[in-house]
Structure 1
Amino acid sequence: MINRLQPSVTERLRLPINRGLYYGGSWHEPEDGVYVETRSPASGESLGETAWADSVDVDHAVEAAREGFRVWRETTPVARGALLREAARLVRQHAEELALLDAADCGNPIREMIKDAEIGATALEYFAGLATEVKGYTVPLGPDHLNFTIREPLGVIARINAYNHPFMFAVSRAGAPLAAGNALIIKSPEQAPLSSLRLAELIGPLFPPGVFNVVSGGRTCGEALVAHPHIAKVGLIGSVPTGKAILRGAVDSMKKVTLELGGKNALIAYPDADPDKVAVGAVRGMNFSWCGQSCGSTSRVFLHDSIHDAVLDAIVKQVKAFVPGIPTDPATTMGSLVSEAQFNKVMRFITLGQSEGARLVTGGNSADDPHLGNGYFIKPTVFADVTPAMRLAREEIFGPVLSVFKWSDEVEMLRAVNDVDYGLTASIWTHDINKALRTATQVEAGYIWINGSGKHFVGTPFGGCKQSGLGREESIEELLDCTQLKNVNISLE
């Protein structure tokens, strides 16, 4: 028998009324009539069907967006900023219902999802304030010439979002394209599309028709967006294989690409670090609340041998606070994985880690609560005695699995930290500022915390190196990347 969502929660769950494709300021049926059912990964309950776009639908959405762009690019920056601020107000007003919707749809606990609404609204306000900062500059060429540059919007931008924070990514990554004067098409994550549809219901009517658009679909939809000649830029939050496919698909049209991809991120603790604080940072950085389903999770913890045992013991105590439960329950501290496929992948890595010789310290199995039997729950899992050669240490798991390494030689430790294909985030723990800054320059990652982990700060550029992605977001760099620079030279002879 399928476990249903709690009755009180079901009554509060505001599912989107419209399940079609939103473009040109209105809702549309898919051309081939295909709808795909969405089920809650925590309970197995059906959340209804959603329209699935194919390449023809993408053509319609792009043409509508091109029409919207012609109007939006002529809208003053001040007016664009005002509409983004109104969108932020609506996001805050409907924060609880959107958080509840994501909790039911993607499996993350509502107590964390409610924070996503504030993050998304703040991002909209941040870029609203930058709308008037899309500026050019003058170049002195002598008395016979006036030379200046102007920044112009690109046109239609597509955003392909990930399933771990569907609503937050849809909101926060809309700010820069819209503030710069572009039209936007959001492709919702196929595993959790509902909050993007609800967002279209809430803020879509604020903008001129065609400026803000949302489509749902699978691989066909994504490939059509990437290959479309009238899409000027594609932004992705997703896996490395998907990022590589987008790069290949964008070649023919030479479009811009921004990629926020996977990570196998390191936390490094030096001998002078406080063991209890390191343990708190390691557990927080692992994002156990949403089952480690975060590209920025610090899933590799490198502990100096002088503090290794103390930190490991403290980590085991810390993870006890994360107990799998129904994500729509405000008391739940840890939700479910997003799908059966992801659940099976994580369990295979746990088995692999044991076969490779890593020591399972805690967790390693699914939740034993019978009320969670129809969901994809795995307990917080910690491995010790992990070595750099293990697949457990090298491949992104995207699940609640923390690997702990013991080190004594700094050179060898840093070599192991950097000897992976990824380079998104890193966390460094020490009271020695010289050591901290030196290590920050040596670690191959795009976003570094010193004596901290996990937090993002508005206005600071987030992004990775190596196979963790291209470009920077959450900052003015994201805004400028949504524009193109044009030079104007006036002869005064």
Structure 2
Amino acid sequence: MSTAVTLSAGLLIGGELTTRAAGGLHQHVQPATGQPDFTVPLAGASDIEDAVHSARDAQRAWMSLTVDRRRDMLIDLADVVHDRLDELALLNVHDYAVPISFAGTGHMLEWFLRHFAGYVDKPHGISSPVNASFDVNLIEREPYGVVGVITPWNGALAVAASCVAPALAAGNAVVLKPSELAPLAALRFGELCIEAGLPPGLVNVVPAAAEGGEALVRHTGIRKIHFTGGEATARRVLAAAALDLTPVVAELGGKSANVVFEDADLDVAAAMAAHQGPLMQSGQSCACASRVLVHESVYDAFVDKFLNTIGGATVGDPLDPTVVFGPVISEESANRILGVVADAVSQQAGELLVGGNRVGGELAGGFFVEPTVFGDVDNGSALAQVETFGPVVSLIRFRDEGDAMRIANDTPYGLNAFVHTRDLTRAHRVARQLEAGSVWINQISLMSPQGPYGGYKNSGFGRTGGLDGLHEFTRVKNIRIGMG
């Protein structure tokens, strides 16, 4: 793989990059090769203390600026990000080996910054009359102060877009904790904040493992936490935050249903299902549509098209622009995913149609697991109910609309749902029946700054994006002025 960008990590605190490591060191391993490539200094409790202190000072400086100045500075940051899109994409590849063809989450970061910059100078409160009085009654929205944002390894820039942009627009400072598995793009974003002229310390970036993450969540100077990640870690975050009653927004996993009705364009549905299922980020996405529900009358035709699409996907070096399928994040993940496949086979959860093995040959040194598809899966099986977080997809037949809705909602998760149909009336009807925070009709998951995104059930609570996403980073104050 090319090293056209600098592969060095550190902690960005108060506008200064340091390689001190109170939390120790982590040896990063490139998933495409299985070889170590750079060392990651990890934040410990003392580093988190410094980052929060720096953020407090920077937040005061940020709020001392007029709204038009803050708005323009966020737009300046969006311009700087725009000029570095290629660099940020390359850093994503080196972080977690996402193919360069899918690595452009810097575009998303630019869009969210521009969108939320527009909210900085817009009204954030209202006035309201009150009973039996002519008092002046003001309802205002204020920033929390310093917020902590914990990102997953598979989407640091996407979370920076959906969380850091509205947090800054609302007037907060941010301590951003990327995973030790993928720190580079997040650190570069922090540096771009300084280049754009934001107050040093307004965005601190502290790669950390469990020790640093717990110190961040437990710090009394952190007024709100936004966590994106897995359900098990979320429970630990919530338990730690509960000690000081720190509010938490959580975007968690999913076992999303992709419902293909008999009137769907099967070519389009198969292509989108392949992308949204095993191919995009090798299935390592909370938005992965890992359960594909297909009407029994078109099941066989759909399966042929679906498998042909997957079979035509190019696997290889993530820096090759023709490659669409890359490795999973680690040896541990590869072994875990292969264990899920083995268990599904032994439990006869469905028929293994394709995949299920480690990719060999010249890619054997990396953590490549073949796109894997099971047919006629029992929706009650572990294969269909437990998030795999890998390139493993279950195909499930359904009889009619009611059967499809029953199966789709029969899961503890509810982040996304997908529907393919040409019938607009049906699209509206089933969208309201699906228990999911986002429903995508004839479309893949495309987060936008205008649309609120978040989960139902065990997929989390709270929203990013849209006015709801902005309000997550504000708290409401009522001011009443007596008029005699």
TM-score for both structures, normalised by structure 1: 0.94
Give 1:91's aligned amino acid.
Answer: V
Write out aligned runs for 1:366-381 (5 A).
366-368=358-360, 370-381=361-372
Partners of 2:122 and 2:163 in 1: how far apart? 18
- Please give the per-residue CA displacement for 1:283-328, whole angstroms capped at 9, x wherever unaligned: 1221513101110111101111101001011101111232321112
The answer for the alignment partner of 1:267 in structure 2 is 258
The answer for the alignment partner of 1:122 in structure 2 is 111
Deviation at 1:124, TM superposition (A): 0.8
**Structure 1 unaligned residues grouped into runs of 5+:** none
Deviation at 1:356, TM superposition (A): 2.2
Give 1:285's aligned amino acid.
Answer: Q
Name whichever of 197-206 and 393-402 sits farther off. Answer: 197-206
**2:373 is the alignment partner of 1:382:** yes
Partners of 1:471 and 1:292 in 2: how far apart? 24
Deviation at 1:123, TM superposition (A): 0.9
Among 125, 138, 153, the residue aligned to 2:127: 138
The answer for the alignment partner of 1:420 in structure 2 is 411
Deviation at 1:143, TM superposition (A): 6.1
**2:45 is the alignment partner of 1:55:** yes
Partners of 2:176 and 2:123 in 1: how far apart? 23
The answer for the alignment partner of 1:464 in structure 2 is 455
Partners of 1:171 and 1:45 in 2: how far apart? 30
The answer for the alignment partner of 1:70 in structure 2 is 60
Pick closer, same or farther for the CA change 1:352–1:102 going to 2, 3 Å. Answer: same
Deviation at 1:105, TM superposition (A): 2.0
The answer for the alignment partner of 2:81 in structure 1 is 91
**Kept in 1: contact 2:278–2:392 (CA 8 A):** no
Secondary structure, counterpart of 1:291 in structure 2: helix
**2:357 is the alignment partner of 1:365:** yes
**2:332 is the alignment partner of 1:324:** no
Partners of 1:45 and 1:64 in 2: how far apart? 36
**Kept in 2: contact 1:298–1:426 (CA 8 A):** yes
TM-score for both structures, normalised by structure 2: 0.95
Deviation at 1:136, TM superposition (A): 0.6
Deviation at 1:334, TM superposition (A): 1.0
Write out aligned runs for 1:84-483 (5 A).
84-113=74-103, 115-133=104-122, 135-141=124-130, 144-205=134-195, 206-286=197-277, 288-357=279-348, 358-368=350-360, 370-483=361-474
Deviation at 1:281, TM superposition (A): 2.4
**Kept in 2: contact 1:159–1:185 (CA 8 A):** yes
Partners of 1:451 and 1:97 in 2: how far apart? 32
Pick closer, same or farther for the CA change 1:166–1:31 going to 2, 3 Å. Answer: closer
Pick closer, same or farther for the CA change 1:287–1:362 going to 2, 3 Å. Answer: closer
Among 17, 20, 41, the residue aligned to 1:30: 20
Percent of residue pairs identical: 35
**Kept in 2: contact 1:272–1:431 (CA 8 A):** yes
**Kept in 2: contact 1:262–1:396 (CA 8 A):** yes
Give 2:7's aligned amino acid.
Answer: L
The answer for the alignment partner of 1:82 in structure 2 is 72
Name whichever of 228-237 and 446-455 sits farther off. Answer: 446-455
Name whichever of 447-456 and 122-131 sits farther off. Answer: 447-456
Give 1:135's aligned amino acid.
Answer: H
Partners of 2:123 and 2:313 in 1: how far apart? 44
**Kept in 1: contact 2:23–2:45 (CA 8 A):** no
Secondary structure, counterpart of 1:130 in structure 2: coil
**Kept in 2: contact 1:304–1:407 (CA 8 A):** yes
Give 1:164's aligned amino acid.
Answer: N
Give 2:418's aligned amino acid.
Answer: S
- Please give the per-residue CA displacement for 1:138-180, whole angstroms capped at 9, x wherever unaligned: 1113663111111111010111001112333334421011111
Secondary structure, counterpart of 1:133 in structure 2: coil
Give 1:155's aligned amino acid.
Answer: G
Deviation at 1:443, TM superposition (A): 1.2
Name whichever of 25-34 and 175-184 sits farther off. Answer: 25-34
**Kept in 1: contact 2:116–2:166 (CA 8 A):** yes
Deviation at 1:363, TM superposition (A): 1.5
**2:3 is the alignment partner of 1:14:** no
**Kept in 2: contact 1:424–1:465 (CA 8 A):** yes
Partners of 1:171 and 1:440 in 2: how far apart? 27
Give 2:85's aligned amino acid.
Answer: A
**Kept in 1: contact 2:412–2:457 (CA 8 A):** yes
